[in-house]
Amino acid sequence: MPEHRAAYSCSNRRTIANRARGITFHKFHKDKEVRKKWEVALRREGFTASYSSVLCSQHFKQGDFDRTGQIVRLRDGVIPSVFSFLVHLQKDHSYALPASPTTYDQTQGSLGKSGKSGTREEECHGQSKEGKDHKLKEKLEFYSDLQIDLMAKQGNEYTKDYREFALTLHLHGPKAYKYLRETLHFPLPHPHTLQRCSVDAKPGLNKMMDMLERRCQGDQAKYGCVLLMLDAMSIRKNVQYNPHTQSMSGFVDMGDGNSETDVATEALVFIVVGLQGHWKAPTAYFLNKSLSPKTQMVLLSHALEELHARAFGWYLSSIRRPYGVGSPQGDCSSLGATCSGAVCLAQNLPPPCDSTIYCTGNLLHTVQMAKIFKDDKHFVDMGLRDTPSRILKKFQSLIKSNQGEALVSKLKDFLNTSFAEPGEEIEPWLPPDWKENPELLSQITDPRLKQWASDLNHLWKSLGRKIKQEVKDLPDRHSQIYVPNAVIVPGGRFREFYYWDSYWVINGLLLSEMSSTARGMIENFLYLVDRYGLIPNGGRVYYIRRSQPPFLTIMMDSYMENQKNITFLSQNIDLLEKEYHFWMTNRSVIVPLEGANYTLNRYNVPVGGPRPESYSDDYELAENLTDGQQTLWAELKAAAESGWDFSSRWFSKSQQDLKGTKTSSVIPVDLNAILCRVERTLVKFYKELKMDEKASKFQTALDQRIEAVKAVLWDDDVGVWLDYNLDDKSRNKEFFPSNLIPIWATCYNNQQYVDKAVTYLENNPAFKYRNGLPTSLKNTGQQWDFPNAWAPLQHMVIEGLEKTGSNKAKELAFSLAQKWVQTNYEVYQKYNAMFEKYNVENDSEPGGGGEYEVQLGFGWSNGVVLQLLDLYGARLTSSSVLCSTVSWVLVTLPFIISLWT
């Protein structure tokens, strides 16, 4: 009767050679109970020993044998314990790489409960799950780059790679393996043969990562969006000698090459699960003994970094912790996650956008950190000359074959050949509604100001841009976001539209009688709300997950005041409301104060990674932080969302510099004032549209906000509105022009607030500067601080004061307008240019500081000057009264002298 070797992967036979090596063969024990134990020890599903089943002596420990007699016998009751299991057989017992389809399904289930998986999946690609067959097909596709090699295999020899592939495929999906082998007749080894193959399944990262990376490059949509699972489980102490690899296993092994003497009692397994496409891949495992939560976190962040470096887009990590080790809450919070109980879902922040060229990945990191361009924005504004996946492939091979100095020079060549210069995707655009002599010019008395206003009117032509059709056709080759209508850009490095800048641009355009251009820009914003649910900071993909101060409804108000186009309003009112809801859903927070709860808004951008357009600055700023890098980067983005990037306004009390930026802890006066004005405008719009229910809904929202602004932001001692800090539970007493924006927004219900605030301004040292109202009184070197002054802030303060009805306020308003116009005019005379910001301290100088050179152009500065000339055209002068007297004397002196002589 033939013998059956019962042990998995055992190839020993009764041969002379084996007998010479001392290998003996042993029948299964007669005793039922002992026999059962042997069967279990074999880990063969459904296996029952028959009379002919045998085990060779290599599956027993030395001490299991009684060698006293002539025949080598097994001692009574011993159980075989030495096996070289393939990893997929280890799963039920110890350190298995969880590869069965059930693991995947369970994962889906647990995520489903938390409500995260579905949401992420939809957010990522918006598709639903597919059927079983499709799953199988996908598994096969997953390996498609290896199929050609397989079909080409000749002869009986299986190469190492080939064996590794076969083992990995079998591990990954036995059904797929069977299908390939039996239905498609791939020359794959029989699963039994496979059992004899040794596999390099050592702890640490395995080759799956490489395969995934290849897959991801080929199909970013399907493979770029992944979930990283970390599973920790207890294992039985089990030290074994593996004759195939001639090594011992069972000790602590972190895959770092260090030999440990402790026996492993725990296994950590990392599995990458495709959120789109139903695939999963075990990518790493570690054997350890009571791993500290901190080390677990280190391993997890390495795994995340690995994904990041290999250009995987979105990822979440789900952590199942072993019982009784550490506090899940503490561990998860270091990753910015929230947990409950022993199971927690750590959500890694999404990157600024999904592009593995413009927003995440090794290419972005390498180019920006090589500092090839003076301004990081240069690289992320370049278009691609080829598909993203081909460009990434080229980059990978460049990296592989070049290091050190050679890399930078090769990178430059690569950028020259694979990328287009910034701006090639847009063309200059002459606004068709541009007019030589808008009515506004005739209202300006000072001839020099009149000429200047005419120059500014001409500037619209140089700031007009139309996005080329190719951006619409091949969006993934451009960082520029497609919008249907041409735009007026700020200028300089800002080659795309900016959200809040456009409010002052549109106001200026309306004064220049260019209402079609203004309307086109508003339509673009409506299109963006419709498409993305928010208006991005600016017209680039790297701005897509953050916005800017919400001016859309107020822009529409400017347009409506000018054009009275009720049809346009009624066609788009829903989108105005949709944008409002974005802010209320994603940027609101409940502020508990003195026993009441108030709903107010803040800037908050839960998005990870450095800002792509300022990558190296952000990266270096956070470089020495042991934890909290992601948090700092998110806070910097929130500051950018405020439009005040950067400012002492967002610094925390304990750290008064850029590293201390904690924007999301601040309830900003200006944001809430702007939303007050949005709510008031929506009430007005709905009344005009005779939609009373909606009007009263927004009236209620407005009333509630006015109450909340009063309770939380009004400070009766200081006599003005102040930012409220959620961490310190206190108001920031520093001067900022934003403290006065509620006047502009009419976000109060009692005139006495205005009177007090006017007195506050009049007595504030900030008011004394002859070149305008500074952004703050702190000189931090940041651009939204002293000594810089910005057009939008001057405008909101001046227009607010002007409309209060108080004479004192109107006087202050005019005085500020005169200072601002004069400063801008003097700088214009000196540099023949308009700037984005100005210096209140030094005469005739633009502003400075911050992370980039001061820019010329400049959209909002032009718009604000035109607005002030419209408001006070008959009174404003190009120089101060003293200066104008002197210049009058100088002009008229020769005439006087001639009369005299």
Ligand X SMILES: OC[C@H]1O[C@H](O[C@H]2O[C@H](CO)[C@@H](O)[C@H](O)[C@H]2O)[C@H](O)[C@@H](O)[C@@H]1O
Query: Which positions from 337 to 356 touch ligand X by CB under 6 A, shown as an x/- string?
Result: --------------------
Residues between 467 and 526 that touch ligand X (CB under 6 A): 490, 494, 498, 500-501
Give the Cα separation of 435 and 516 in Å (integer).
12
Maximum Cα interatomic distance, the chain, rounded to a whole number of Å = 145
The C-alpha torsion from 443 through 446 and 448 to 450, rounded to 10°, is: 0
Interface residue with ligand X, options 189, 361, 538, 742 (CB under 6 A): 538
Tell me how crowded residue 599 is: count the other CB atoms within 10 A of its CB.
Answer: 13
Residue nearest to ligand X (CB): 640
- Tell the smallest beta-carbon distance from residue 613 to ligand X (Å): 5
Beta strands (DSSP E) in 768-836 are 788-790
Q: Which long-range contacts (CB under 8 A, 24 or more apart) does 627-631 make?
A: 627/334, 630/336, 630/348, 630/349, 631/336
Tokens of 790: 């910005």
Respond yes or no: is residue 141 known to be catalytic. Answer: no
Rounded to the nearest 5 percent, the helix, strand and coil shares of the chain are 50, 15, 40
Question: Angle, nearest 10°, between helix axes 669-688 and 552-563?
Answer: 40
Q: Near ligand X by CB under 6 A, which window of 149-157, 388-396, 611-619, 861-869?
A: 611-619
Half-sphere exposure of 574 (CA within 13 A, CB side): 3
Q: Which candidate in 213, 641, 670, 836 is catalytic?
A: 836
Tell me how crowded residue 320 is: count the other CB atoms within 10 A of its CB.
Answer: 16
- Tell the smallest beta-carbon distance from residue 620 to ligand X (Å): 15
Tokens of 800: 């607010």
Q: Near ligand X by CB under 6 A, which window of 179-187, 303-311, 606-614, 893-901?
A: 606-614
Measured from the CB atom, is 214 or 546 closer to ligand X? 546
670: contact with ligand X by CB under 6 A = no
- Tell the smallest beta-carbon distance from residue 176 to ligand X (Å): 46
Measured from the CB atom, is 283 or 630 closer to ligand X? 630
Element holding 798 (H helix, E strand) = helix 791-802
Q: Near ligand X by CB under 6 A, which window of 117-125, 405-413, 638-646, 756-764?
A: 638-646
Closest CA to 519 of 567, 490, 555: 555
What's the length of the chain? 901
- Tell the smallest beta-carbon distance from residue 744 to ligand X (Å): 17
Give the Cα separation of 788 and 779 in Å (integer).
9
Measured from the CB atom, is 494 or 685 closer to ligand X? 494
Closest CA to 426 of 536, 539, 526, 502: 539
Residues between 613 and 632 that touch ligand X (CB under 6 A): 613-614
- Tell the smallest beta-carbon distance from residue 477 to ligand X (Å): 22
Distances (CA, A) of 279 to 104, 148, 212: 8, 21, 10
Tokens of 732: 């920031």
Measured from the CB atom, is 487 or 758 closer to ligand X? 487
Peptide bond into 373 cis (omega under 30): no
Q: Which candidate in 425, 645, 679, 723 is catalytic?
A: 645
- Residue 48 DSSP SS3: coil
Interface residue with ligand X, options 121, 164, 645, 799 (CB under 6 A): 645
- Tell the smallest beta-carbon distance from residue 467 to ligand X (Å): 18
- Tell the smallest beta-carbon distance from residue 372 to ligand X (Å): 17
- Tell the smallest beta-carbon distance from residue 662 to ligand X (Å): 17
**Tell me, what amino acid is at 295?**
T
Query: Which positions from 849 to 878 touch ligand X by CB under 6 A, shown as an x/- string?
Result: ---x--------------------------
Half-sphere exposure of 573 (CA within 13 A, CB side): 21
Gap between the terminal Cα atoms of the chain: 142
Respond yes or no: is residue 145 known to be catalytic. Answer: no
**# of chain residues touching ligand X (CB under 6 A):** 16
Residues between 371 and 390 that touch ligand X (CB under 6 A): 377
Q: Near ligand X by CB under 6 A, which window of 52-60, 86-94, 138-146, 610-618?
A: 610-618
Interface residue with ligand X, options 283, 537, 771, 862 (CB under 6 A): 537
Interface residue with ligand X, options 836, 847, 849, 862 (CB under 6 A): 836
- Provide the annotated active-site residues: 645, 836
Q: Which residues bind ligand X (CB under 6 A)?
A: 377, 490, 494, 498, 500-501, 537-538, 611, 613-614, 640, 643, 645, 836, 852
